[in-house]
Chain A
């Protein structure tokens, strides 16, 4: 670090400087600062188009950074307390894949909870690693899967001493954290690396009284969705690495799949957002926490909803809870979360992050105001008044124990045939099935299809969940292993 302060944003500054030099472009992109595509320029704005430029000497190169991108990465590392930070333009999906590809080769084992994002299992397909699933615990009342218990992790480690790494969600989509510090120490004692999906945990690095962050817990790598709570543009993320990781080897892994034409809009957004969080993050997340708490209190006054918080902490599978998340259970209302989610959008013009069978998640961020929170609470109170019904027959369980018959990569590339999902009981899936969001697979390639799984998928479909993953866009047919 050559002493740049967190008030600086070297990439954004270089772009500003570049803009003022009025360099004549005889390079790509062909829209030439927007002049060649007037409609797009009117849509996005001239300032935006004028910095949509190619890598060049004054602007550095993401594949091999030596100047301003290097500085931005070093500043980010410092802000997050990491040994190094990579700017990523392929979303947190690309971070998760880079983490797994960096520590696992074909045939290596990796311990992970089954409620991972699909990007983690996709990485297993890419590299041929073998998953060892730790069943996340389940809160039956809320119908959500939780973190991993220490005893389950210990058991998985002891049974698989050859595993290369353990993968942890910090937090889950719902805001639930495992005991990351203890898991990390346990894994390190057994020579395993700790990879952390912090897609929903950017604010842990900046807010006060937040659950512990991966880097603070001593984890080896972490994938941080800066574009979620950090405020950068969609698709921009940070990959953080600890001191035991060879960052040059990680860069080589990233460059296997990363674009060589990284968008400077995304890079500048990471740079400026890092600056903002480093300098004002604590204040920002105090406000977010206050708004979330206000919303929780108001929602809990409406009969039928349960906006949960730290009271569900149990010292193990719910080791900590992210109070900036507004997760609300809707089962007592007799409505599935996905139904409330749909009503909010269709009738009240309110878009929330997701709804599953028993819960909704409203994403609260620095962009929100109390005025908008009042709308959300007002609409929820109206939904309770107008739609409340008998809660008999509500399915709430969310987690189905997977039976992995074939490793994901082998299953993905195996000979397959298509058949109706409803008749596929007993076969081995060649595809994913999941609701999106949250994008956590109900079925993954190589897993046995059971009646319970088929019933669950049909129930989710009936309630209006957006099912994805199969080649059949209607998710009526599924490809199974021949």
Chain B
């Protein structure tokens, strides 16, 4: 049987995975959700036709969106996670014993339900007693928060569809307001490689630069995302991700990771020249 999942990464380039079987297909108020199973990548979650995560490479994304900020902040106790209905971000966060409370705000309850059933590898994070789940638009939730969180992680889908509001200047400004005076915001920052993704990436950076005094971008290699080259944003009110980073302290916590390490932390902030240029292009505006 020749059953393939394909995602157009551009109108002229596509990425395919041979599918063994379809485990779930459904539609919520917001989007279509599919879970497929493959030999190469294990189970994978697809939303509106776009690859969200695979069992094989999700560790890279989830470690990299969580650990750099957790390692820089001296003690992130109150954490807000927006999006992330698959649970992978939460799974990484709760590994830190000093975390007191994690609020997860996901707009689409069905994503959580489907992941709990078909993707326990990531959804296991939701069961920790420190975690509260709020089914709400992140944009709305954050508007009412002030000076509350040490860390906000924005694990959104792409800037088209239900996640669109999470890429706007009003959202980043509201995150700034919701953070304590030494808070950090980390966000999924799209890819610099294909032109359309790069434009989205620049728009995100421009808006964060306007909202936070410190705004840095770092990278990871995620095989199943367009071009494989993926970026994250590190926006902060006080801490610089390199200068205020204490590798020794993190190593002593003894958290075992498969991708992240203290050397890679430094290296991830060293970006290719073309990416630096794309970022600089939007930094000077105003």
Contact = CB atoms under 8 A, between A and B. Distances in A.
A30 B143 CA distance: 54
A385 interface: yes
A378 B162 contact: no
27 contacts: A298-B140, A348-B169, A348-B170, A349-B168, A349-B169, A371-B137, A371-B162, A371-B164, A374-B137, A374-B139, A374-B143, A375-B170, A377-B143, A378-B139, A378-B140, A378-B142, A378-B143, A378-B168, A378-B170, A378-B173, A379-B168, A381-B170, A381-B174, A382-B169, A382-B170, A382-B173, A386-B173
Contacts of A347: 169, 210
Contact of B171 (A298, A378, A385, A386): A378
A370 interface: yes
Interface string A369-401: 011001101110110011000000000000000
Nearest to B141: A374
Contacts of A385: 173, 177
B165 interface: yes
Interface string B163-188: 01100111101100100000000000
Interface of B: 137, 139-140, 142-143, 162, 164-165, 168-171, 173-174, 177, 210
Given A379-B169, A386-B173, 16 more contacts: A298-B140, A298-B143, A348-B170, A349-B168, A371-B139, A371-B164, A374-B139, A375-B165, A378-B142, A378-B171, A379-B170, A382-B169, A382-B173, A382-B174, A382-B177, A385-B177
Given A347-B169, A348-B169, A349-B168, A375 B174 contact: no
A349 B170 CA distance: 10
B177 A375 contact: no
Contacts of B173: 378, 382, 385-386
Nearest to A370: B137
B169 A374 contact: no
Interface residues of A, number: 15
Contacts of A381: 143, 170, 174
B25 to A, nearest CB: 24
A88 B177 CA distance: 50
Contacts, number: 50
A125 to B, nearest CB: 44
B168 to A, nearest CB: 6
A371 B162 CA distance: 7
A159 to B, nearest CB: 52
A298 B164 CA distance: 20
Contacts of A348: 168-170
A376 to B, nearest CB: 8
Contacts of B171: 378
Contacts of B169: 347-349, 379, 382
Nearest to A371: B165
B177 A374 contact: no
A375 B163 CA distance: 11
Interface in A340-366: 347-349
A299 to B, nearest CB: 11
Contacts of B142: 378
A378 B174 contact: yes
Contacts of A382: 169-170, 173-174, 177
Nearest to B30: A371
A271 B162 CA distance: 33
A386 B165 CA distance: 19
Contacts of B210: 347
Contacts of A378: 139-140, 142-143, 165, 168, 170-171, 173-174
A374 B174 contact: no
A301 to B, nearest CB: 8
A375 B165 CA distance: 6
Contacts of A349: 168-169
A379 B168 CA distance: 9
Nearest to B286: A347
B202 to A, nearest CB: 14
Nearest to B136: A374
Nearest to B142: A378
Nearest to A381: B143
A419 to B, nearest CB: 39
Contacts of B168: 348-349, 375, 378-379
A286 B164 CA distance: 25
* Most B C-beta atoms less than 10 A away, residue of A298, A347, A374, A386: A374
A47 B162 CA distance: 30
List the 4 closest pairs (A to B, CB-CB), nearest first.
A378-B170, A379-B170, A382-B173, A374-B139
A371 B160 CA distance: 12
Contacts of B174: 378, 381-382
A360 B204 CA distance: 27
A370 B165 CA distance: 11
B143 A375 contact: no
Nearest to B211: A382
